Chain A
Amino acid sequence: MRTILYLIRKEFLQIFRNKFISRAMFAVPIAQMLLLVPAVTFEIKNVRLCIIDNDLTSESRGLASKLEGSTFFKVTFSTFSENEANNLLHKNKFDLILNIPSGFGKNLGTGKTGKLMASVDAINASTAQLSWAYLNGVIRDYNINILNENIISVPVTSVPQIMITNRFWYNEMLNYNHYMLPGVLTLLVTVVGFLLAGLNMVREKEMGTIEQLNVTPVRKYQLIIAKMVPFLLIGLIDLSIGLIIGKLVFNIPFVGSIILLFACASIFLIAILGLALFISTFSSTQQQFMFIAFFCMIIFILMSGIFTPYESMPMWAQDFNLINPVAYLMRINRMVMLKGSTIHDISRELYSLVVIAIGFTTLAVRRYRKTA
């Protein structure tokens, strides 16, 4: 135990004497929170719309002004030529073309169906689907208006129909910041945990100082624990900075237990540090370590469910996530912060993290060689 304390003391002395790391420790969480939380959003605003109005009736203009009036669409172009519109869509001048053919107003006036044509740039499939859905929504509204005003004397609302009232639980305003912030916190802890300790270990190999430790009677687990503890603390400090920024800048609701969140983050950090130190045992240069570390980090992060819902991943991906610590902390963070989940609600995630942490740390200790 005393040996570990001496080693930990040495790590802290080195970390605080290293100007770059001691500054980055504070700069990284601040920059990451301020940049990523507002930037990473699925909310779609300002879809650029082009209207081809070959009808020029009050009905077609009514529809166009309704679209213009929505916050979702921005009519950036109007033309009468379908060719011109298609060319400009090709050049990415707008995202959506709504073609109102001549006769649209006349058809509506005579009780026939008015036909419209929409062309959507679907390079980003989810944006395209959402734009299409919004467009549909606006047109449906417009439909009801027409029914109300022109065709039936009785308002449609008095005709029996099913009305749905909905309430969005846990994030009532559908604020994307609230959804992304716990995710970005997870990223923050992941990056700090993954890179610092591993690089530190490989640097000792490069400098040759690790050999002087290897020739002492220090035990392998003592070395690994001493490399973990300082970076575990740095990870938790960065998590605190991130949470404070979340509260002060983004006014994130925090419904759950802070202690539970920090406990989970600590276990997660042990898992990530264990993995990083395991990778460091077979990397002899910092470049080699970075290469493998980034490979693992990108896979862990993209599969963690930060951007894409976990539930819609293929089965094999969900199975992979059984060993992905980032996926567990991603869910825990969101559940504890937004839902106020208790330790019972997240027990499955928590147990899994404990198993992964023990597994990776054991790997790191076993793979570490004091005698080549």
Chain B
Amino acid sequence: MNEKVIYVKNLVKKFGSFVANDNLSFEVFGGEIFGFLGANGAGKTTAIRILSGLSSPTSGEVFVAGINASKNPEEIKKQIGYMSQKFSLYEDLTVKENIMLYGGIYGLSKSLIKERTDNLLEKLNFREYGDKLIAALPLGLRQKLAFSIAVFHEPKIVFLDEPTGGVDPITRRQFWEMIYETAARGITVFVTTHYMDEAEYCDRISIMSEGKIVALDTPENLKKLYNAGTVEEVFIKIARPVNN
């Protein structure tokens, strides 16, 4: 747990005069489930895109898997998996074809892709869906599949940007079981959410408000610190502007 897989210091991201990320500093350790909380528009997605090499920081130091994100975003991409809030598998390809595409892009051998695909479909109880188009799958299954594909190549870190948006509670529960299992394999999970119950499942959480990190600790410590019963109460105490 003491290897730093993500190191961020004084990260600033501006879009014109708008400051989306205002001087963020934090670290994430190997194998950790790190929750990134905040209201809509707090700057979570901006930060996760920078960490994934999709966007470049305006200033500050960002290291992911030991690689400098400003200088070498393409190298980071070899080490990570990513699942965005916007569903982005190909709906006009089948489940197997999607897996094959991403497995191939990450350079896995054909036999390895086949073997892992079989295991994956077995594990998800997906057997009968293997040759179905993604368009024919219900949302919950799609999200589970998108996550499985994001970690298919066994990355060091996986970034999940609001992975459970619009998904029913049972599927969310199953989804989090998958996250636990992934973390247990040693893959660091960096997840953004605005479901506060999900925050309880994280090893550590950071709460963002208006581009700044306003709290960062384990859920237990934060609850103690703010004298709250749940993370939701903590969040409301912190994120609600005082003058409101």
Contact = CB atoms under 8 A, between A and B. Distances in A.
B100 interface: yes
A10 B52 contact: no
Interface core residue of A10, A207, A212 (most chain B CB under 10 Å): A212
A345 B86 CA distance: 54
Nearest to A209: B88
A211 B55 CA distance: 11
Interface stretch (B4-12, B21-29, B89-97, B173-181): B89-97
Contacts, number: 77
Interface in B46-93: 49, 52-56, 73-74, 77-78, 80, 82, 84, 86-93
Contact of A207 (B74, B88, B101, B106): B88
A18 B102 contact: no
Majority secondary structure, B binding face: loop
A5 B89 CA distance: 18
Nearest to B103: A6
Majority secondary structure, A binding face: helix
Nearest to B86: A208
A3 B86 contact: no
Contact of B105 (A7, A17, A209, A211): A7
Nearest to B52: A215
A372 B102 contact: no
B41 interface: no
A17 B90 CA distance: 12
A212 B52 CA distance: 11
B104 interface: yes
A286 B49 CA distance: 24
A217 B77 contact: yes
A209 B89 contact: yes
Contacts of A9: 101
A112 interface: no
B229 interface: no
B80 A215 contact: yes
B89 to A, nearest CB: 7
Contact of B55 (A10, A207, A371): A371
Interface core residue of A3, A6, A18, A371 (most chain B CB under 10 Å): A371
A3 B56 CA distance: 25
A287 interface: no
A14 B97 CA distance: 10
Interface residues of A, number: 26
B107 A372 contact: no
A355 to B, nearest CB: 29
Contacts of A219: 74
A371 B75 CA distance: 12
B177 to A, nearest CB: 24
A6 B88 CA distance: 17
Contacts of A124: none
Contact of B106 (A208, A211, A212, A216): A216
B92 A3 contact: no
Interface core residue of A3, A207, A209, A213 (most chain B CB under 10 Å): A209
A22 to B, nearest CB: 12
Interface core residue of B73, B87, B91, B92 (most chain A CB under 10 Å): B92
A218 interface: yes
Given A3-B105, A6-B100, A13-B93, A212 B88 contact: yes
A23 interface: no
Nearest to B98: A10
Contact of A371 (B54, B78, B80, B101): B54
B86 A215 contact: no
B74 to A, nearest CB: 6
Contacts of A18: 92
A214 interface: yes
B59 to A, nearest CB: 16
A219 B88 CA distance: 19
A90 interface: no
Contact of B84 (A17, A208, A372): A208
Contact of B97 (A3, A5, A13): A13
Contacts of A217: 74, 77-78, 105-106
A215 B82 contact: yes
A370 interface: yes
Given A5-B104, A372-B55, 7 more contacts: A2-B104, A3-B104, A208-B84, A208-B86, A217-B78, A217-B106, A371-B54
